[in-house]
Amino acid sequence: MRTHQEIDERSLAMVRRIVAKIDADPDRRGLEHARRVCERWVTQGIASAREWLVLLEKPWSDVRSILLDESDEGQRLRQTDPFCGILTPAERWQIYREYRWP
């Protein structure tokens, strides 16, 4: 069984790749994608979406820091981050393979 720490390490690896993709895009389209995801989640009653909508109003440098934050708060926010769909399935599976546990 995986520990919470192992799951968070994999989550952090994913978010690092997401941040790298958004950093490489001068238009920061990943931010707009995350906003659309949040708006959809709000209509579905997902409470964390409201918190993320507020966070996504901040400059990219602040959002980036939030995503990469290794504190308990950063871990909590990563558990419901709206950046799903930024990585391709192949990119996600590569991370899953890298973080395969015995």
**Cβ atoms 14, 99 nearer than 8 A:** no
Q: What is the pLDDT of residues 4-54, one digit of tens each?
A: 788 888 899 999 999 999 999 999 999 999 999 999 999 999 988 999 999
At residue 85, what are phi and psi to the nearest 5 degrees? 95, -5
Closest alpha carbon to 81 in 16, 6, 26 = 16
- Helices then strands, each counted (H, E), the chain: 6, 0
Question: How confident is the model over 68-78, as pLDDT tens digits?
Answer: 999 999 999 99
Contact between 56 and 38 under an 8 Å Cβ cutoff? The reply is yes
**What is the rounded CA–CA span in Å between residue 12 and residue 24?**
18
pTM over 0.85: yes
